[in-house]
């Protein structure tokens, strides 16, 4: 099957230009002007007035995650289909090591959940719950097998938290095996003290989840894990950064030459602590780190512009308001943590970033696609429009507007954090390895089409 995309503006991280793209099978085979005159195709897609961009890569999702006494609602099928509608053609999800069990067992469980159910290509990072001699040895094997990143936590005591010694040992291991440690950096034990004080004082509404998790607790933990990484001589990637306090620590580290990288998420750019007011409705916005006062978002946008923040992922971890978020009525500590966003990321960043005049369209493509591909060992197979790259392409209409709503989104969750928000920009045609999987709001994909991505070690994170 040969597909020709004509008359569009190709937008990549490096620049924009008018050219046609020829896809043969699963791969981009030719890029040039007026290709229709020089070649034949089974299908021609007219992209006049539209952008042609590399498919979005969401490097932080949690489909079906068991968390907070329940499960993240989107399955690999519903979540990846929603991602596709929103212009994302690759996700990297998190397999979880259960305490006392092998990394491999967790990985196999998550591979089984995803295989045959996911409609776009996918990879896995590994959440490490136990750091010991055996799990450290297993890390080496996983790096060799294409799972080169490991998430550890300074938050969630009793669930995922690792102490400083364990985190340091994991950094020592990646310094040797070429992997990358991803850190959830908040001081969980200190947060638990403040949260208990708040509940004891009768402050049980979800809003106090946001208040209890002080920005300084994120700043402290961010500095601590960066310092541990420096001591071990390993790079570090800080996930879901929300607070100026944490960004300041990241900037300082990068200024002194440390290989420290940051990710932020749409919720920290577009939502604020005020969204958590309104009684129990605020549960719709409970995530960790929490939403912050608006001035933090301003700093995050600057961080994105200046590349202190490398990319935007969603941390997609959806729970229904009814029946799931409601587990925390009367005690905000019991609200399952996480928000839906996998479908909205590309459009929100286009609307708030490019249309809003905060970043260029090339930087937009970089933060939603190219940077995650480079950071997580998929470039130039993914994240690029180049001869030989996978034909993961989106014909994007930068002028179309639509209204985000739970009544029209495809994520399997009963609310939207962005209900009623009008955004400019929409994915018209979404192509995954040469196959059209979304066209004009209709899904044409199939679960069996997806492929598990064995990814390279984080060489990019080591480069000077």
The helix/strand/coil state of 190 is helix
Q: Which lies closer to ligand URP via its Cβ, residue 62 or residue 345?
A: 62
Query: Residue 144: which region, alpha, beta or left (left: phi > 0; alpha: psi -120 to 50)?
Result: alpha
Residues at the interface with ligand URP (CB under 6 A): 62, 184, 240, 287-288, 315, 317, 337-338
CB of 126 to Zn ion, least distance (A): 13
Q: In the complex with Zn ion, which residue's Cβ is closer, 245 or 315?
A: 315
Q: Say which entry of ligand URP, Zn ion, none residue 333 contacts (CB below 5 to 8 A, set by partner kind).
A: none
Q: How far apart are CA 220 and CA 183, in angstroms?
A: 13
Measured torsion, CA atoms of residues 408, 413, 418, 419, in degrees rounded to the nearest 10 = 50
- Rounded CA-CA distance 413/428 in Å is 23
Q: Which helix (H) or strand (E) holds 43?
A: strand 43-46
Q: How far is the CB of 317 from Zn ion (least distance, A)?
A: 6
Minimal distance, residue 459 CB to ligand URP, in Å: 25
Closer of 317 and 453 to ligand URP (Cβ): 317
Site for Zn ion in 162-201 (CB under 5 A): 184
Strand partners for 151: 127, 182
CB 99 within 8 A of CB 130: yes
Q: Return the one option of Zn ion, ligand URP, none that residue 337 interacts with (CB less than 5 to 8 A, by type).
A: ligand URP
Q: How many Å from the N-terminal Cα to the C-terminal Cα in the chain? A: 41
Interface mask (CB under 5 A) for Zn ion, residues 384-413, using x and -? ------------------------------
Two tokens, residue 163: 């102490």
Closest CA to 149 of 441, 432, 378, 351: 378
Q: Nearer Cβ to Zn ion, position 230 or 315?
A: 315
> Looking at beta carbons, which residue is closest to ligand URP?
337
In angstroms, give the least distance from the CB of 125 to ligand URP: 11
Q: Closest approach of Cβ 216 to ligand URP, in Å?
A: 19
Query: 110-123 as b/e, with b when 16 or more CB fall inside 10 Å?
Result: beebbeebbbbbbb
- Quick one: what does residue 410 bind among Zn ion, ligand URP, none, with the CB cut-off 5 to 8 Å set by partner type? none
Least separation in angstroms between CB 160 and ligand URP: 8
For residue 288, the minimal CB distance to ligand URP (Å) is: 4
93 belongs to the binding site for Zn ion (CB under 5 A): no
Site string for Zn ion, 285-324 (x = CB under 5 A): ------------------------------x---------
Look at residue 287 and give the partner it binds from Zn ion, ligand URP, none, a contact being a CB closer than 5 to 8 Å depending on partner kind.
ligand URP
Question: Based on CB atoms, which residue is closest to Zn ion, 315 or 428?
Answer: 315
CB contact at 8 A, 206 and 283: yes
Tokens 């080496």, residue located: 140
Interior CA angle at 301 toward 296 and 304, to 5°?
125
Instruction: Give the one entry of Zn ion, ligand URP, none that residue 138 binds, where binding means its C-beta sits below a cut-off of 5 to 8 angstroms depending on kind.
Output: none
Pairing of strands 51-54, 393-403: antiparallel
Residues that bind Zn ion (CB under 5 A): 184, 315
């Amino acid at each position: 099957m040969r597909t020709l995309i004509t008359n569009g503006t190709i937008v990549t991280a490096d620049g924009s230009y008018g050219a046609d793209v020829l896809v043969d099978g699963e791969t981009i085979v030719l890029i040039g002007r007026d290709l229709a005159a020089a070649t034949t195709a089974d299908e021609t897609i007219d992209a006049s007035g539209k952008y042609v961009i590399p498919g979005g890569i969401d490097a932080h999702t949690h489909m079906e995650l068991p968390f907070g006494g329940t499960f993240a609602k989107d399955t690999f099928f519903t979540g990846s289909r929603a991602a596709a509608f929103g212009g994302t053609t690759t996700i990297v999800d998190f397999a979880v090591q259960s305490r006392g069990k092998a990394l491999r067992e967790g990985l196999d469980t998550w591979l089984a959940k995803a295989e045959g159910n996911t409609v776009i290509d996918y990879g896995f990072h590994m959440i490490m719950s136990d750091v010991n001699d055996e799990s450290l040895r297993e890390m080496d094997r996983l790096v060799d097998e294409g799972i080169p990143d490991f998430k550890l936590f300074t938050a969630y005591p009793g669930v995922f938290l690792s102490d400083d010694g364990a985190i340091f040992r994991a950094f020592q291991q990646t310094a040797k095996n070429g992997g990358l440690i991803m850190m959830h950096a908040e001081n969980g034990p200190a947060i638990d003290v403040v949260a208990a004080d708040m509940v004891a004082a009768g402050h049980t509404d979800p809003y106090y989840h946001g208040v209890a998790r002080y920005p300084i607790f994120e700043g402290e933990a961010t500095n601590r894990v960066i310092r541990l990484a420096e001591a071990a001589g390993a790079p570090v990637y800080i996930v879901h950064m929300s607070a100026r306090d944490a960004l300041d620590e990241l900037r300082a580290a990068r200024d002194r030459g440390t290989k420290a990288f940051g990710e932020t998420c749409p919720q920290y750019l577009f939502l604020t602590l005020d969204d958590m007011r309104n009684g129990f409705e605020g549960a719709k916005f409970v995530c960790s780190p929490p939403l912050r006062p608006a001035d933090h978002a301003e700093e995050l946008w600057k961080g994105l512009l200046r590349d202190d923040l490398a990319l935007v992922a969603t941390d997609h971890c959806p729970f229904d308001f009814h029946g799931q978020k409601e587990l925390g009525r009367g005690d905000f500590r019991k609200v399952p943590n996480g928000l839906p966003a996998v479908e909205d990321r590309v459009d929100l960043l286009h609307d708030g970033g490019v249309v809003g005049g905060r970043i260029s369209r090339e930087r937009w493509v970089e933060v939603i696609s190219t940077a995650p591909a480079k950071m997580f060992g998929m470039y130039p197979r993914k994240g690029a429009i180049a001869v030989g790259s996978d034909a993961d392409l989106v014909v994007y209409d930068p002028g179309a507007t639509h209204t985000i709503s739970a009544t029209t989104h495809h994520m399997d969750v009963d609310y939207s954090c962005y209900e009623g928000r009008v955004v400019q920009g929409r994915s018209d045609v979404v192509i995954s390895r040469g196959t059209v999987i979304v066209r004009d709001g209709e899904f044409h994909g199939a679960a069996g089409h997806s492929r598990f991505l064995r990814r390279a070690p984080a060489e990019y994170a080591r480069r000077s």
